[in-house]
Amino acid sequence: MIKTLKVMLIPNNKQRSKLFQSAGVARFAYNWALGREQENYKDCGTFLSDYNLRKEFTKLKTQEEYKWLNDYSNNITKQAIKDACLAYKRFFKGQSGFPKFKSRRKSKTSFYMDTDKIQFTNKKVKLEKITLSRKKNKQKLNWIRLAEKNRIPIDSKYINPRVTFDGVNWWISVGIKYADNTEVPVNDGLGIDLGIKDLAICSDIDKPYKNINKTEEIRKLKKKKRRLQRKISRKYLINKKGESYCKTSNIMKAEKKLLELNHRLTNIRHNYLHQTTTEIINRKPKFIVLEDLNVKGMMKNKHLSEAIAEQCFYEFYKQIEYKSSWNNIKFIIADQFYASSKTCSCCGSIKKDLKLSDRIYRCDNCNTVVDRDKNASINLYNYGKSIA
């Protein structure tokens, strides 16, 4: 199995500038390849392979106007052209929308590193043509520091190394191949019901996993975020010139603080999800059942949309899915229209008039009284047991 490891970089000012320039080179190559494909399609030509485009791009670098491309790794532009061709192929196969040109402001800032040229130590990483600088007419090798020590194995074969910028920090991610886990879980399976009042209610334990967004720490950060947003809005109104808004250096500083605050909130939530999912996986059940929620439809409810977005249901699904595959646990998704909440977990009768405000399930057939979410989790467990 392949696991992806992601570590934050701590570059100096020169290295940071070089990283941004390399991301710009990747964006330029991607847009150039996409433009050539569109131009060729308009002229009724056949699809241009990435091999032919890379040969054409190599000739382009010999021109005086584009000689600056030689200062950067050719692997960055090579992979960017491959990505553009792949996006174009996926569109014609009906697997994705029509590829768009990358923008400096809106697109993800990232680029590829060659697997043979990248080198790791316990504390640092060397990137091709990025960590090389000139000092007193001598080439000196500068290694970029890593935020975590001994996180990435040194003597390993790296798969698809990517360097990305999230708006605050630079990160490097690499795929590493590990031996498959042969241990087979023997414990009973479980069903998980996701909610807003509590994050997850499991069928095998009585205590639910609490909603972290109701904690004091998150509430304080959200209050700080609201105040900062109002502060930025007022600054824009003060510096308004006619119908256009003027962005001052103070506004840029405030927006950077807001971006860092948003990242902190996201990291706290994702860290809590990792702790929760790991604890569930460590119980080693035979199977795990989750309901296929219509999150897009749930978000249309203006009273609950914010609370639903903060719960990060998709991230929970994703973590449970790949951690289950790592541990040989069968991952089952119940049908979206499966009546897990309305069905009695004791007798199986369906209560059609159950409302969203009814937090306690009372069965009219067998007089069972149980928590609504706990009842749903038991039904999901029964659903998985019938399949597994």
Rg of the chain over all Cα atoms, to the nearest angstrom: 26
> In sequence order, which ranges of 176-248 are alpha helices (DSSP H)?
216-238
pLDDT at 132: 58
pLDDT at 45: 72
Q: Beta-carbon neighbour count of residue 385 at 10 Å?
A: 15
DSSP annotation of 108 reads: -
pTM exceeding 0.85: yes
Picking from 310, 6, 13, 273, the residue whose alpha carbon sits closest to that of residue 166 is 6
Contact 292, 313 (CB under 8 A): no
Q: Which residue has the tokens 């038991």?
A: 378
DSSP annotation of 157 reads: -
Contact 336, 293 (CB under 8 A): yes
pLDDT at 137: 46
Q: Rounded to an integer, what distance in angstroms lies between the CA atom of residue 12 and that of residue 14?
A: 6
Count helices and strands in the chain by DSSP H and E runs: 9, 18
The residue ranges of every structural domain in the chain are 2-177, 190-387
Contact 273, 318 (CB under 8 A): no
- φ/ψ of 242, rounded to 5, equals 70, -120
pLDDT tens string, the chain, 388 residues long: the values are: 889 999 999 999 999 999 999 999 999 999 999 999 888 888 877 788 999 999 999 999 999 999 999 999 999 999 999 999 999 899 888 898 989 999 998 899 999 999 988 999 999 999 988 865 555 444 556 799 999 999 999 888 999 999 999 999 999 999 999 888 888 898 999 999 999 999 999 998 889 999 999 999 999 999 999 999 999 999 999 998 888 888 899 999 999 999 999 999 999 999 999 999 999 999 999 999 999 988 888 899 888 899 999 999 999 999 999 999 999 999 999 988 888 888 888 888 888 888 878 888 888 888 888 888 898 999 999 999 888 6
pLDDT at 236: 94
